[in-house]
Amino acid sequence: MSTQTYDRQNPAFYALLIALVVMAIGPIYLMLTTSLKLNIDIMSDSSSLLFMPTLRNYETALCDFLWYEPEHLRRCDPTFGRALTNSLIIGLISTAITLIIGTMAAYALVRFRFMGRDVVSIWTLMMRMVPPAVLLVPVFGIWTFQFGIDGSRGGIILVYVALNLPFVIWILQSFIVQVPIQLEEAARMDGAGPFQVFFLVVLPLIKPGIAAASIFTFRVAWNEFLLANALADRNSRTVPVTIVNSLTEFDIDWGVIMATGMLLAIPPIIFTFVASRQIITGMTAGAVKG
């Protein structure tokens, strides 16, 4: 990379680039600085660049997990800590389940010719566009009255798996198509069964696809609000639900709420920096080469 030569551009072009970058990350930067401010600094009219950064808002939000007791807190409110645990559990488990059964389904759709394959593909594509808002009423009704799993983490995990599966199947198909069939045939000659071929030959080859799919899946489960709000009870609330619940019309504690927002934003930000290539592949896989 370092030996590659780059074209020289005129200064106006670089000015535009800088402006774009500022616009893209400005709001995130503002959230970060606000979360590091005391309320007096947030409310003050003076320049917002000079302030003493403090972790106090994070201490308030995470007081449950701290080994010491922050002195500014009279009483520790465990709501957010509990929600964070819920979000992590729900996000990780639903991602794992979605990926396991999603890759298997995608593999079957690509590799085996059987009746109804086209129908299945069309259905997966159609299911992809179902918005969470549409599922709100039926999921609430069925989960409460028929399955009896409302208010539990399991119930929320089940919706997220269903919500993510079509996308995961769709995106993994495009990766599995590229695996040379000769490799699988060779493994089969050596006596491997279909499950061995799948887990030992195909899976290792589509790692980039799995990375992309898992990021997208985790992101949906981690960020989703509407269905979690309808299904969760006090003990299974996720972070987005607690954030919205703590938003009142007046007198918002901006420092703390920005700290919780920042905590919710950190995992996706980390993914973005670690795996931006895979994310972009995932995003473009559908549109640029259908």
Partner 1 sequence: MSIASTNRMTPYLFLAPAGLVLAFALFYPICYMIYASFLDWNPSQRIGEAEFVGLRNYFKLFGDDAFRESMGVTLKFAAVVVTIEMFLGVGLALLLDRNIRGMSVLRTLFILPMMIAPIVVGLMWRYMYHPTVGIFNKTLKSWGFDGIPWLSDGSWAFASVVIADVWQWTPFIFILSLAALQSLPASAIEASKIDGASDWQQIIYIKLPLMLPVLIVTLLLRLIDSFKVLEVILVMTNGGPGLSTEILSLRINRTASEFRELGEAAAMSNLLLIVLLILTFTMFIYNKAQDARAARLRAVEEEA
Residue whose structure tokens are 């279909």: 194
- In one-letter notation, the amino acid at residue 209 is G
Q: Tell me, by CB under 8 A, how many residues bind partner 1.
A: 96
Contact status, residue 176 vs residue 106, Cβ threshold 8 Å: yes
Residue 250 touches partner 1, criterion: CB under 8 A: no
Closest among 237, 223, 228 to 267, alpha carbons compared? 223
CB of 165 to partner 1, least distance (A): 6
Torsions phi, psi for 67 (to 5 deg): -85, -10
Closest among 284, 123, 263 to 212, alpha carbons compared? 284
Residue 152 touches partner 1, criterion: CB under 8 A: no
User: Which of residues 73, 126, 183, 186 is near partner 1 by CB under 8 A?
Assistant: 126
Cα atoms found within 13 Å of the Cα of residue 288, Cβ hemisphere only: 6
Alpha-carbon distance of 241 to 255, in angstroms, equals 18
What tokens were used for 51? 């302030």
User: Which of residues 142, 192, 201, 205 is near partner 1 by CB under 8 A?
Assistant: 142
Q: Residue 191 gets which letter from DSSP?
A: T
CB of 83 to partner 1, least distance (A): 12
What is the SS3 assignment for 278? helix
173 to 192: interface string for partner 1, x by CB under 8 A: -----------xx--x----
What is the SS3 assignment for 211? helix
Give the residue with the Cβ less far from partner 1, 54 or 223. 223
Residue 84 touches partner 1, criterion: CB under 8 A: no
User: Which of residues 76, 88, 162, 192 is near partner 1 by CB under 8 A?
Assistant: 162
Q: Which of residues 93-112 bind partner 1 (CB under 8 A)?
A: 100-102, 104-105, 107-109, 111-112
Contact status, residue 184 vs residue 203, Cβ threshold 8 Å: no
Q: Which of residues 40-69 bind partner 1 (CB under 8 A)?
A: 42-43, 45, 48
Residue 211 touches partner 1, criterion: CB under 8 A: no
Residue 125 touches partner 1, criterion: CB under 8 A: yes
Residue 194 touches partner 1, criterion: CB under 8 A: yes
User: Which of residues 196, 235, 245, 272 is near partner 1 by CB under 8 A?
Assistant: 272
- In one-letter notation, the amino acid at residue 174 is S
Residue 280 touches partner 1, criterion: CB under 8 A: yes
